[in-house]
Chain A
Amino acid sequence: MKYEVLIDGTLHKVELEQKGGTWNCKVDGEEMVLDVAVTAHDILSVLDGAKQWEIKREYSLLGETHLIVGSERFAAEVRDPRSLRSRRAVSEGAAGPAKIVAPMPGKVVRIVVPQDELVEAGQGVVVVEAMKMQNEIKSPKKGIVKKIAVKEGDTVNAGDVLAVIE
């Protein structure tokens, strides 16, 4: 199987061939023979020769996959090169209006910039309270607030759209 894997935004080409617990791998042209033991559904013990890595997988509240190697955390995105559809979906996300999403669950306490007004990149648009802290959720870019998707007092989940900037 061939994969393209983005690790913290850097592309790596990976080939895998599994024989039981042994995986013949090629990463960016370099070959590795790994002994992989699954110790829990999201935890691997990987032996590269005698070098041992504990590698964990988890998902951020926003649905990104993270891999933890030792104590280092990496954002990971796996693409199958044969699946063009998934690649197109990724490129579409980059253009168009920017959505501001809640980074954590909480309660909307204030709308700082109302609809149809101009915001600067980095300016706070909505204030969400969680764990006794008020958090200004900022605009990723300069533009017009096209839509405010929440009102004061609303409870939101991580990943919920708060506003759209155009």
Chain B
Amino acid sequence: MFRRILIANRGEIAVRVIRACREMGIESVAVFSDADRRALHVRKADYAVHIGPSQASESYLNFQKIFDAARRSKAEAIHPGYGFLSENAAFARACKENGFVFIGPSAESMESMGSKTRARQQMKKAGVPFVPGTEQGLTSAEEGLKVAAKIGYPIMLKAAAGGGGKGMRVVHTPEELRPALEAASSEALRSFSDGEVYMEKYIVNPRHIEMQIFGDTHGNVIYLGERECSLQRRHQKVLEEAPSPVVDAAMRRRMGEVAVRVAKAAKYCNAGTVEFLVDEQKNFYFLEMNTRLQVEHPVTELVTGLDLVHMQFRVAAGQPLPVKQEDISIRGHAMECRIYAEDPDNNFFPSPGRITRLIAPSGPGIRRDSGMYEGWTVPMEYDPLLAKLIGYGETRELVIERLRRALFEYFVGGIKTNIPLFRRILMHPDFRAAKLDTGFLERLLKEPPVVNELTRARRPIAAVAAAIFAQALPPRVDPDALGNSSPQARAPSASPAPAAGGWKQAGREEALR
């Protein structure tokens, strides 16, 4: 086993991997940019190395800086987390060349999966079901029109090298096809330096269900059950659960076996995820494979009882998988809420800034993977995922109630988060009835927010409390914030209105005595 591992990432996933290191008696090395000196992953690690300016291209995405840090700290292996360099085949190859073990699949496996078009050809041979469409990138709009007429509208255009919704277009009529193809191709070229675009049938109201797989260097590949990830906003996942409410044991076995075939076709090793689209008749189609540990891996951990990061370490060190397929069983239900620094009441604007108060939930069936702490300033440079709140219980109904209770306890002050959005989701009758598809969240957001009687009834007590605060507890100048180098790190009272109010209140109190 490794003695020391460098984590080439930040935020909650870096903290998650550091925890696994400590549990296995492995020393952890954090890396950090200028913006992250005070970040939680630095505080939790045994060693921490500065790797450059805040801009990710100069730090978290810079191979040389990562390797320099690994050499300096004498790390033997590198865990890439998700995002950043996690699915970068060139990085995986460079790790090997520089004498470090990359904790993930081989560069060759990634490359065979990275281009979706190439992946399709390989998988087809292995009997994997696909959404009808083109196997090659489209060469012209004429070709596109011909194929679309055959498979039927609506169709979807997709960047071969894409992900995260970029370079994707839905086309409903032949007239829309040519401009959509041009737009998708130029967007793909800009985002991925590859303008290749292919076409497939657009499935109306699909579910997004993915299968966790795990491979080792001894040729074993197993599946660990599915995750339902249909709750998305703009192709970004918001809430995930395991097992999927629509997948029964027979369907799980069929999906799992297909996923294992996909992985074996790519000689896949370590943790990976095979994504499927599932239509209203429960037909499933292979979508793509993610060659990394997923954000939502904790729901699988809770229902299988396995620690996927521990397993990643073992497999990367050359050990065989510690479990066999017949040992895997799914017990209970788990659900994850992704807590983002964004304002659901105001266009989902990102909300970086200082966390003035943090009250974290706990209690039965609650797990929280977090990268934040009270007093920390959420930087504006990186993605807005702050933490994941994960609930576990015997049934889906119990998990929903546990999460509602935990969200009631959860309080993040000073910045806006999407916590109120989860309260709405978990109360929604369609969600509770598990009537989910990838359009669910966009539809919910179009429903007018209900100002219920309960809210109205609380206004008088809120008014009294506001007056009590004003009279007895004037806003306080926070001395911590004054020495903070970040320009955003202003104490609440440093903003003009409350500060003036505060001094005025204090003066008034003096006069009253």
The residue in chain B whose Cβ has the minimal distance to the Cβ of A135 is: B349
Q: Would you call A72 and B458 a contact (CB within 8 A)?
A: yes
Which of B460, B476, B490, B508 contacts A12 (CB under 8 A)? Answer: B460
A156 to chain B, nearest CB (A): 10
Contact call A73/B420, Cβ cutoff below 8 A:
yes
* Residues on the A chain within 8 Å of B496, using CB: 63
Q: Which residues of A sit under 8 angstroms from B347, Cβ to Cβ?
A: 135
Interchain CB contact under 8 A, A105 and B413: no
Shortest distance between the CB of B459 and any CB in chain A (Å): 5
Contact with A along B327-358 (1 / 0, CB 8 A): 00000000000000111001101111100110
How distant is the Cα of A36 from the Cα of B407 in the complex, in angstroms? 24
Residues from chain A with Cβ under 8 Å of B380 in the complex? 104-107, 130-131
A78 at the interface (CB under 8 A from B): yes
Annotate B474-501 by CB proximity to A: 1 below 8 A, 0 otherwise: 0110000000000110101101111001
Question: Which residue of A has the minimal Cβ distance to B56?
Answer: A132
A-B contact pairs, 29 of them (CB 8 A): A10-B459, A16-B464, A38-B472, A41-B476, A42-B473, A56-B411, A57-B465, A58-B414, A59-B492, A61-B495, A67-B462, A67-B465, A68-B411, A72-B455, A74-B459, A76-B466, A78-B470, A83-B504, A104-B352, A104-B353, A105-B353, A106-B350, A107-B380, A131-B352, A131-B380, A132-B384, A133-B384, A135-B350, A157-B488
B58 at interface by CB-CB < 8 Å: no
Does chain B have a CB within 8 A of A113?
Answer: no
The answer to whether A74 touches B462, judged by C-beta atoms less than 8 angstroms apart, is yes
With A61-B351, A72-B455 as contacts: A56 and B357 at CB distance below 8 Å: yes
Q: Known contacts A12-B459, A104-B351, A105-B353: does B468 contact A44 (CB below 8 Å)?
A: yes
Q: Is the CB of B487 within 8 A of A62?
A: no
CB contact under 8 A between A7 and B463, given known A130-B352, A130-B380, A135-B350: yes
Known A-B contacts A18-B472, A131-B383, A157-B487; the reply to A55 vs B465 at CB < 8 A is yes
Is the C-beta of B295 less than 8 angstroms from some C-beta in chain A? no
In the assembled complex, A116 has its CB within 8 A of some CB on chain B? no
Counting CB contacts under 8 A, is A149 at the interface?
no
Interface size, chain B (Cβ < 8 Å): 59
Q: Are A76 and B350 in contact (CB under 8 A)?
A: no
Contact B407 A32 (CB under 8 A): no
Given A56-B413, A104-B352, CB of A71 within 8 Å of CB of B423: yes
Given A18-B472, A42-B357, A105-B487, check contact A159 B465 (CB 8 Å). Answer: no
Which parts of A114-166 form the interface with B (CB within 8 Å)? 130-133, 135, 155, 157-159
